[in-house]
């Protein structure tokens, strides 16, 4: 179940986001942070095909056993066609839980996502809802997603940290 939730989030990010070029210095990039989750665009904002402008989740922070609505705003600098893919790595501390390549267009079709390939260039907003399993362990998860076009060009890169160790206040 966790794999499906992470897959849904990473595929959504992949379809409307920004690539795997790691630079030795920090550039001006959007970062969202709360006590229990954060995201960072780890790609190259000058050359990535997709640029992530914003990621919002509801509820914020995410809660095991609840629906999670993810909204991603981004700019596609060129049309994304069949064959685009993402390499996803999910870690719990230093332990790698998942390392898998996903065909983004196939995943979008299978999830009946609101955006489908080919994705035309321009601004896009996508919202997708997933059910988080209540069995998610109380732990900090790191998710790294590198996206590539069908020509293997850098498409986007995003790092996520989700901390399920903290219990949200109920008042």
Q: Can you give the pLDDT at residue 65?
A: 92
**Any residues with CB less than 8 A from the CB of 21 and at least 6 apart, and which?**
43, 44, 47, 48, 154, 157
Give the residue ranges of DSSP H helices in the chain. 2-15, 104-110
Q: Can you give the pLDDT at residue 44?
A: 94
43 class by beta-carbon count within 10 Å (0-12 exposed, 13-18 middle, 19+ buried):
buried
Q: Can you give the pLDDT at residue 26?
A: 39
Number of residues in the chain = 171
147/144 Cα distance (integer angstroms): 10
Domains of the chain in start order, with CATH, are 2-163 (2.70.220.10)
Over the chain (171 residues), the average pLDDT of each successive run of 10 is: 39 32 37 74 95 93 92 96 97 95 95 93 93 91 97 97 73 43
Q: Give 140's strand partners.
A: 163
Whether 37 contacts 109, CB under 8 Å: no
- Both tokens assigned to 170: 């109920």
């Amino acid at each position: 179940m966790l794999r499906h939730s992470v897959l849904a989030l990473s595929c959504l990010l992949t379809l409307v986001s920004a690539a795997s070029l790691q630079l030795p210095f920090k550039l001006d990039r959007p970062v969202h942070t709360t006590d229990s989750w954060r995201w960072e665009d780890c790609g190259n904002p000058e050359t990535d095909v997709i640029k992530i402008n914003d990621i919002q989740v509801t509820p914020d922070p995410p809660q095991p056993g609840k629906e999670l609505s993810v909204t991603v705003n981004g700019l596609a600098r060129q049309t994304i066609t069949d064959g685009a893919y993402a390499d996803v790595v999910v870690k719990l501390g230093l332990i790698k839980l998942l390392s898998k390549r996903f065909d983004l267009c196939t995943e979008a079709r299978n999830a009946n996502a609101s955006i489908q390939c080919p994705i035309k260039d321009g601004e896009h907003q996508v919202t997708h809802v997933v059910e988080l399993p209540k069995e998610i362990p109380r732990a900090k998860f790191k998710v790294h997603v590198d996206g590539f076009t069908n020509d293997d060009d850098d498409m986007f890169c995003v790092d996520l940290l989700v901390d399920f160790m903290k219990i949200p206040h109920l008042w």
